[in-house]
């Protein structure tokens, strides 16, 4: 049963503690990465047979497989995919940025160019679960950024196939190539390349502990979006909120993973008790009851604060992945929220909207990293390059100062580099 904690009556450690689900897999992941670097495709075939229990004949998904998958899905689901994709495009299109040029009066030009990475790699969880929504969220910003080639890796099912919904979402999102490989070996293949899978410049997408550790280990060779932990939701609610709605929203994240975190912060002890009871009631007929039960019992908590301002302060301290403001006037508190991955405002905006149809990205910072990181966006797939142009006259104006600055740092060659051009003009 979810526990109820009164803020100020229990140690802060109980309020702000997080479970650490990360397994000690660094050595195993290092070995997998080394093997992929050495054996390339052979390692991928062998590791897929070892971990996924399937012997593949080829790694890349064919056009025929994609067409067959799309044809197997209902027209209604395909319509929903297209609708969701369009909403995601609409939100992320606004994020596209342009470069700039500053033009000084003396002929100096300074500026910044925005260019996409050459190739992006998307990791999409598969096998036992299929998340076509992740395909849309990760691929569409990359396409809008202008990435020339987008490749996707995803674990195969026991029969060697890829979920039809994932393949359909990949087609809708405009992914160029798809490969049947998962786990740390897929991340290694994207980072270093094999005979079949091309090396990428950026890897994005969630995964298990092995995937997260692999992303950590290849960072520096390639860029990554983030190291994602278990899903989280924190709801700030007043006493007027419906307990059944709050319980449903908490369970929507608890059913993801036994290590997921579902937290309610409220100014009403009466509401806290009603939500606790409602969670027990709704758990009874939940298909993923065992997962949700483990999450709620291990990581769930209801925190009773003295008022809503204190509740928002607690939320800022926890910096959750998803934050719902289920209060009468959510906009009155929006400006006070400093740390959250994605904010859902009002009583009729459940987090599930953000997972599928709202439009803002659902690849979000977890484990408190919203204190310093951001949701996946178009910015993740571009890089900024600056440029400078000086005329001889403009150089003459600044060269003496450049030289003095360089000498102050003990770098005489820097000083000479600035002054030598003036000396040539004096000859």
Which CATH number characterizes residue 315's domain? 3.40.50.1980
Share of the chain above pLDDT 70, in %: 98
Shared domain for 212 and 70, answered yes or no, is yes
Shared domain for 302 and 320, answered yes or no, is yes
User: At 107, is the pLDDT very low, low, confident or very high (cuts 50, 70, 90)?
Assistant: confident
374 lies in some domain: no
Per-residue pLDDT of 247-261, as tens digits, reads 999 999 999 989 999
Shared domain for 265 and 339, answered yes or no, is yes
- 258, two tokens: 């036994």
Helix (H), strand (E) at residue 319: none
Amino acid 229: pLDDT: 87
365 lies in some domain: no
Number of domains in the chain: 3
Which residues is 235 bridged to in the sheet? 264, 324
379 lies in some domain: no
Shared domain for 82 and 210, answered yes or no, is yes
User: At 22, is the pLDDT very low, low, confident or very high (cuts 50, 70, 90)?
Assistant: low
Angle between helices 132-145 and 164-173 (to 10 degrees): 20
Shared domain for 14 and 33, answered yes or no, is no
Shared domain for 243 and 353, answered yes or no, is yes
Shared domain for 30 and 122, answered yes or no, is yes
User: At 172, is the pLDDT very low, low, confident or very high (cuts 50, 70, 90)?
Assistant: very high
Shared domain for 108 and 8, answered yes or no, is no
Shared domain for 271 and 351, answered yes or no, is yes
Shared domain for 239 and 219, answered yes or no, is no
373 lies in some domain: no
370 lies in some domain: no
Better-scored residue on pLDDT, 420 or 104: 420
Sign of the four-CA dihedral 400, 405, 408, 409: negative
Q: Looking at 224, 250, 278, which one is the last position of a domain?
A: 224
Contact 366, 231 (CB under 8 A): yes
Amino acid 316: pLDDT: 98
Q: Looking at 224, 257, 288, which one is the last position of a domain?
A: 224
Helix (H), strand (E) at residue 180: strand 177-180
What three-state secondary structure class fits 181?
coil
Active site residues: 321-322
383 lies in some domain: no
Phi–psi pair at 56, nearest 5 degrees? -90, 150
Domain extent at residue 398:
390-426
85 lies in some domain: yes
Euclidean distance between the first and the last CA atom of the chain, given in angstroms as a whole number: 87
**Average model confidence (pLDDT) across the chain:** 95
SS3 per-residue string spanning 325-392 = EECCCCHHHHCCCCCCCEEEECCCCCHHHHHHCCCCCCCCCCCCHHHCCCCCCHHHHEEEEEEEECCH
| DSSP designation for 156 | -
Shared domain for 108 and 168, answered yes or no, is yes
Note the pTM of the prediction, 2 decimals. 0.93
Q: Looking at 317, 335, 358, which one is the last position of a domain?
A: 358
User: At 427, is the pLDDT very low, low, confident or very high (cuts 50, 70, 90)?
Assistant: low
Shared domain for 52 and 12, answered yes or no, is no
Contacts of 82 (CB under 8 A, 6+ apart): 172
Amino acid 130: pLDDT: 86
Per-residue pLDDT of 284-337, as tens digits, reads 999 999 999 999 999 999 999 999 999 999 999 999 999 999 999 999 999 999
Contact 236, 206 (CB under 8 A): no
| DSSP designation for 219 | B
What three-state secondary structure class fits 228?
coil
Contacts of 193 (CB under 8 A, 6+ apart): 40, 199
239 lies in some domain: yes
Contact 126, 111 (CB under 8 A): no
CA distance 265 to 237: 6
CA distance 308 to 266: 7
């Amino acid at each position: 049963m979810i526990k109820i904690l009164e803020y100020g009556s229990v140690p802060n450690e109980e309020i702000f503690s997080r479970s650490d689900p990360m397994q000690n897999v660094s050595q195993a992941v290092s070995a997998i990465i080394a093997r992929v670097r050495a054996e390339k495709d052979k390692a991928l075939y062998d590791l897929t047979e070892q971990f996924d229990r399937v012997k593949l004949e080829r790694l890349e998904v064919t056009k025929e497989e994609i067409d067959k998958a799309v044809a197997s899905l209902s027209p209604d689901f395909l319509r929903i995919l297209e609708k969701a994709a369009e909403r995601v495009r609409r939100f992320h299109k606004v994020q596209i940025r342009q470069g700039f040029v500053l033009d000084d009066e003396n002929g100096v030009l300074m500026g910044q160019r925005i260019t996409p990475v050459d190739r992006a790699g998307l990791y999409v969880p598969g096998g036992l679960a299929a998340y076509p929504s992740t395909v849309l969220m990760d691929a569409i910003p990359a396409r809008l950024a202008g990435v020339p080639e987008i490749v996707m890796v995803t674990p195969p099912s026991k029969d060697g196939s890829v979920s039809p919904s994932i393949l359909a979402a990949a087609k809708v999102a405009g992914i160029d190539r798809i490969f049947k490989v998962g786990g740390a070996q897929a991340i290694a293949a994207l980072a270093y390349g094999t005979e079949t899978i091309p090396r990428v410049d950026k890897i994005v997408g969630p995964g298990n502990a092995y995937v997260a550790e692999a992303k950590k280990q290849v960072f520096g060779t390639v860029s990554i979006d983030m190291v994602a932990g278990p899903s989280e939701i924190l709801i700030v609610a007043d006493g007027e909120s419906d307990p059944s709605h709050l319980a449903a929203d908490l369970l929507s994240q608890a059913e993801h993973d036994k290590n997921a975190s579902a937290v309610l912060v409220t100014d009403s002890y009466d509401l806290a008790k009603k939500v606790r009871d409602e969670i027990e009631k709704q758990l009874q007929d939940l298909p993923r009851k065992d997962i949700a039960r483990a999450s709620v019992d291990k990581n769930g908590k209801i925190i009773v604060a003295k008022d809503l301002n204190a509740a928002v302060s607690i939320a800022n301290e926890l910096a959750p992945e998803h934050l719902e403001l289920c209060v009468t006037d959510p906009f009155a508190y929006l400006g006070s929220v400093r740390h959250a991955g994605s904010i859902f405002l009002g009583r009729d905006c459940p987090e599930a909207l953000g997972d599928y149809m709202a439009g803002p990205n659902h690849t979000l910072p977890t484990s408190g990293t919203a204190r310093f990181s951001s949701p996946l966006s178009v910015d993740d797939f571009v890089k900024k390059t600056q440029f400078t142009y000086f005329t001889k006259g403009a150089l003459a104006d600044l060269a003496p100062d450049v030289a003095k600055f360089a000498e102050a740092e003990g770098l005489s060659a820097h000083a000479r580099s600035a002054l030598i051009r003036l000396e040539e003009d004096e000859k």
